Structure 1
Amino acid sequence: MHHLTLLSAVLGLGLLANTPMALAKNLVFCSEGSPAGFDTAQFTAATDNDAAEPIYNRLVEFERGGTAVQPGLAKNWEVADGGLSYTFHLREGVKFHANKDFTPSRDFNADDVLFTFQRMHDREHPFRKAYPTEFPYFVSMGLDKNIKSIEKIDPMTVKFTLNAVDAAFIQNLAMSFASVLSAEYADQLLKAGKPSDINQQPIGTGPFVFQRYQKDSQIRYKGNKQYWAPEEVKLDNLVFSINVDPSVRIQKLRRDECQVTLNPRPADLPALKQDKKLNVMEQAGFNLGYISYNTERAPFNQLPVRQALDMAVNKDAIISAVYQGAGQKAVNAMPPTQWSYDNSIKDATYDPEKAKQMLKAAGVKEGTEITLWAMPVQRPYNPNAKLMAEMLQSDWNKLGLKVRIVSYEWGEYLKRMKTGEHDIALIGWTGDNGDPDNWLGTLFGCAAVGSNNYSRWCDPEYDSLVTKAKQVSDQEQRTTLYQQAQQRLKQQVPITPVAHSTVNQPISAKVTDFKVSPFGRNDFAGVSVD
């Protein structure tokens, strides 16, 4: 009997080796940084949004690899009252994930949509009071002021009423910050006195279920067997392997320790493109790398000082050294592929001599010390911020300034910039939704000071143009207003646009149906590994 048991155990193991369990489809993504958490409403960095993307859905979703919006947790919707009301009809039978402390007792419904948006909208919301946090996108796009009410019409219908027409409203709801959370889970966390777990132990309805996260090491997810769109879940396990160093990410990809990565160094591209086991996906970047002047601080609160710094930047040298052929010179506050882009805008002539005289005339003394902040991570819009900062240091030293380069860990860098601690900072943006407001309003509008407006520039003339443009639905009228806004921004120099980079994404040839997002998202729904 014992022998028989032993034999069947051995045979059992043999059988197990041939079962689907052993043939599990696993994909490892070599990511570039540690997320600050998984509560997407709090964050604007792609690192945070990528880490949360597998877990959640939104009412509407961007099509994979494109900018068009399609149904998500809402199966359809109607717009009425001249664009002031949106009624969403919700998808039935959608299940929330479970974890060791939470098992949902019901399917997704209108209460979850109400919780998600009322927490951002209402400063007195009990969950927000228990777990106070900022909602940078919600605020910088003016949704906190423009949403008049969010109502539950019935368990599967929700109505949003706006104070003013917002031509970008549906596009905005497809962004990460609008990911729908479980009201039931939030309620349980509130009762247990652990509201911050919404950020560290996330529950969503998405294609992957969160397992665990070790900072600076890895994030693990498993395929959601109960997903409402089962054809989108082709992986059993998804792992984010966190590697800040681009050369480590590339080595891991070559050794098949990860199958997808991002932001390779331009110098590595020729060899990657020749490797038969890899596939380098290339796309014109929907992005902008720029220099942001803190206009609330002297001497950058003076226009002639900003103009002088701007005309002393040797953009051609930066693009050649930093982007190495994978970037084009930027002269405007958004990429040329964005509709309403003004082609007539030109840069000031590169003229360090004139810049030096302008600084002197503005009363900036020789030897004045300024800080220049440089990101610690590679971004799609800036492959090497440290090198760019060193080149700017040299450009501005020639004007008699003493430039000190400063850096912090990525989450800390963004946090400190939002409170305006910097003099000048390197930063950038990858478009989120295909609407011009996502550049001109989200980055430079008055409502965005303290969130994504790192120049802390609030210009009433500019602001009224972008506000008007959002409240008109005719694209030609919007274009005219946005072009006037672009002209005003160029004259006032709150930023120096540097480059739009080409996005190169190396993946293993074994990966099928991965799509490069114009918004710089890494999305693994529908992706498989051979």
Structure 2
Amino acid sequence: MRKKRWLALGLMLLLVLSTALAACSSDSKDDGKDESTGGKEKKEKTLIFGRGGDSVSLDPIAVTDGESYKVTQNLFETLINFGEQDTTLKPGLAKSWKAAKDGLSYTFELQEGIKFHDGTDFNAEAVVKNFERWMSGNAETRPYFASMFGGFNGDKAAVIKSVVADGDYKVVITLNRPQAPFLKNLAMVPFGIASPTAFEKDGKKFGDNPVGTGPFKFVSWKRNDSVTIEKFANYWQDGLPKLDKIVFKTYPENSARLNALIKGEIDLADGINPSDATSIEDNADLQLFKRPSMNVGYLGLTVTRPPFDNVKVRQAVNYAIDKQAIIDAFFEGQAEVAKNPMPPVISGYNEDVKGYDYDPAKAKALLKEAGYDGKEIELWAMPVPRPYMPDGQKVAEAIQKNLADVGMKAKIVSYEWATYLEKAEKGEADAFLLGWTGDNGDADNFLYTLLDESNIGSNNYTFFKNAETHELMLKAQTEVNEAKRNKLYKKAQEILSEEAPWVPLAHSTPLLAGRADVLNFWPHPTGSDKLDKVDFK
């Protein structure tokens, strides 16, 4: 009997022990305990980033929109980096670079031992193949390359002549003409280096399955809902990234995005309404972020479409719009009135340009002089909040009222974001709301990129052409003396103000918000944020 009792007791102890071990096993799976951390919890760190719109493509060279770059900034890396919250130049995939005295060639020494997410090697050959891919495109497929480097293989205006490998980890880029912002252009997010193996395999579908060298790699994309990326285990910078996963979640409405943040459904949110800033700052569970301002929100007037093919009508619209009222109503002190197509923080800004005061009487007189027939126009309103314009629909309604007051009827229309950009790019809008966040801190990135004839069909949605501004901008690109460059840009701004292809509206200070436990998030003035150092308390 005693033997049986001991046997029964042993079985019971074994059962209890087995249960305990099973529980421990379950705890390890659910709570992330493992031996490498001494049995301490190691929970997966997932950041959910709420944003206003979906990406257009995840191939950075194929797009110009900020929602795409928000993701690709963390999947791809450029040869040169910007500083954490400015546009100073830092090493990236290139550890160093040297320019020739004549400014016609640059030699880049590359980092070694780096892998793309698909396991292929990053080296000089990979860099050359990326440039070959970019240079063999066109303005429709490579819009930003056209804007920043003048053109493609064989084009007279092309800045880049050749890109060759000199060994495994050295690249020499030769130019057709000097370009003052060349290095800053290379640091821009569109020029992230992609895996040649992947883009040669996937062709036009590369944007659906992107492969770079960045701290995170692509996982999935649910259109108009979310993009998921995860930590790249073989990332070349030790200790980074801090997060295991990031989900970019789309909430078109600002209020819905903020509510999701308050409820703890997301960790970061951009596109915060200025009116919500105080309530966020008063909430101990949240924190408010201010992105350094480097943008412009504007009303574009397509100069190839009546009535905006008449400069007097364009000037009239500039006088008709009460910019200060718009800023007071929708920006709540987080913006200043714009008069030029570039913000005051950019070197070369022309303070002496007078701009257009709110003057409905002057607007009516100009419309009469122009012979405006009163025909209704279409006024395009952005369907998503943008850093330079928190609520495009409400701004459009205010402009509609201003135009009605001077005798111009406007019908507000909108489209899904990608369609909106595509149709505006083709010149299909009469008047359209849009804006721009600077990508490199240079005047060229605003004036030449957005308003030069070379960029019609890419970033110049107004189709504006002017021989004098074209000559000024090309001279400014090749002029390395900053004072002389600034003089050229200031003259260009005077002409642009007179020709009035835009109504510059506002330079905003974009607001973001996050949970109080989010660490090391530093909003970048370009609007493309690196999230490799972001962590939780």
Q: Which band: TM-score by shorter chain?
A: over 0.9
- Secondary structure, counterpart of 1:276 in structure 2: coil
Evaluate the alpha carbon distance shift between residue 28 and residue 349 of structure 1 in structure 2; reply closer, same or farther with a 3 A threshold: closer
Whole-Å separation in 2 of the counterparts to 1:71 and 1:528: 23
> How far apart are residue 6 of structure 1 and its match?
5.6
> How far apart are residue 245 of structure 1 and its match?
1.3
- Secondary structure, counterpart of 2:203 in structure 1: coil
Which one of the candidate residues 244, 253, 259 is aligned to 2:252?
Answer: 244
Equivalent in the alignment of 1:140: 147
Post-superposition Cα deviations, 1:407-451, rounded to whole Å, max 9, x if no partner, equal 001111011111000011111111110111011111111111111
Query: How many residues get paired?
Result: 511
Evaluate the alpha carbon distance shift between residue 473 and residue 264 of structure 1 in structure 2; reply closer, same or farther with a 3 A threshold: same
> How far apart are residue 24 of structure 1 and its match?
2.0
Equivalent in the alignment of 1:405: 412
- Secondary structure, counterpart of 1:332 in structure 2: coil
> How far apart are residue 81 of structure 1 and its match?
4.7
Which one of the candidate residues 399, 403, 411 is aligned to 1:396?
Answer: 403
Whole-Å separation in 1 of the counterparts to 2:380 and 2:342: 21
Which structure 2 residues correspond to residues 43-442 of structure 1 after superposition, within 5 A?
43-98=63-118, 104=119, 106-123=120-137, 134-144=141-151, 145-187=158-200, 189=201, 194-366=202-374, 368-442=375-449
Whole-Å separation in 2 of the counterparts to 1:227 and 1:15: 26
Query: Quick check: 2:341–2:504 contact (8 Å CA) kept in 1?
Result: yes
Which one of the candidate residues 430, 452, 456 is aligned to 1:449?
Answer: 456
> How far apart are residue 254 of structure 1 and its match?
1.4
Post-superposition Cα deviations, 1:229-255, rounded to whole Å, max 9, x if no partner, equal 123311111111211111121112112
Structure 2: give runs of 5+ residues left out of the alignment: 1-10, 152-157
Post-superposition Cα deviations, 1:186-233, rounded to whole Å, max 9, x if no partner, equal 33x1xxxx4233110111100001111111222111111211112331
> How far apart are residue 261 of structure 1 and its match?
1.0
Query: Quick check: 2:95–2:109 contact (8 Å CA) kept in 1?
Result: yes
Identity of aligned residues (%): 35
Structure 1 runs (4+) greater than 4 angstroms displaced: 1-7
Query: Quick check: 1:89–1:157 contact (8 Å CA) kept in 2?
Result: yes
Whole-Å separation in 1 of the counterparts to 2:484 and 2:114: 40
| TM-score computed with the length of structure 2 as normaliser | 0.92
RMSD: 1.8
Query: Quick check: 1:141–1:448 contact (8 Å CA) kept in 2?
Result: no
**One-letter amino acid of the counterpart of residue 357, structure 1:** A
- Secondary structure, counterpart of 1:382 in structure 2: coil
Whole-Å separation in 2 of the counterparts to 1:373 and 1:403: 9
**One-letter amino acid of the counterpart of residue 300, structure 1:** F
Whole-Å separation in 1 of the counterparts to 2:242 and 2:307: 55
Query: Quick check: 2:117–2:212 contact (8 Å CA) kept in 1?
Result: yes
**One-letter amino acid of the counterpart of residue 178, structure 1:** F
User: Does the alignment pair 1:502 with 2:522?
Assistant: no
Structure 1: give runs of 5+ residues left out of the alignment: 99-103
Query: Quick check: 2:292–2:523 contact (8 Å CA) kept in 1?
Result: no
Whole-Å separation in 1 of the counterparts to 2:27 and 2:367: 78
- Secondary structure, counterpart of 2:449 in structure 1: coil
Query: Quick check: 1:284–1:501 contact (8 Å CA) kept in 2?
Result: no
- Secondary structure, counterpart of 1:220 in structure 2: strand
| TM-score computed with the length of structure 1 as normaliser | 0.93
Equivalent in the alignment of 2:3: none
* Rg larger for: 2
**One-letter amino acid of the counterpart of residue 406, structure 2:** L
Whole-Å separation in 1 of the counterparts to 2:77 and 2:262: 32
Which one of the candidate residues 459, 462, 469 is aligned to 1:462?
Answer: 469
Equivalent in the alignment of 1:101: none
> How far apart are residue 22 of structure 1 and its match?
4.5
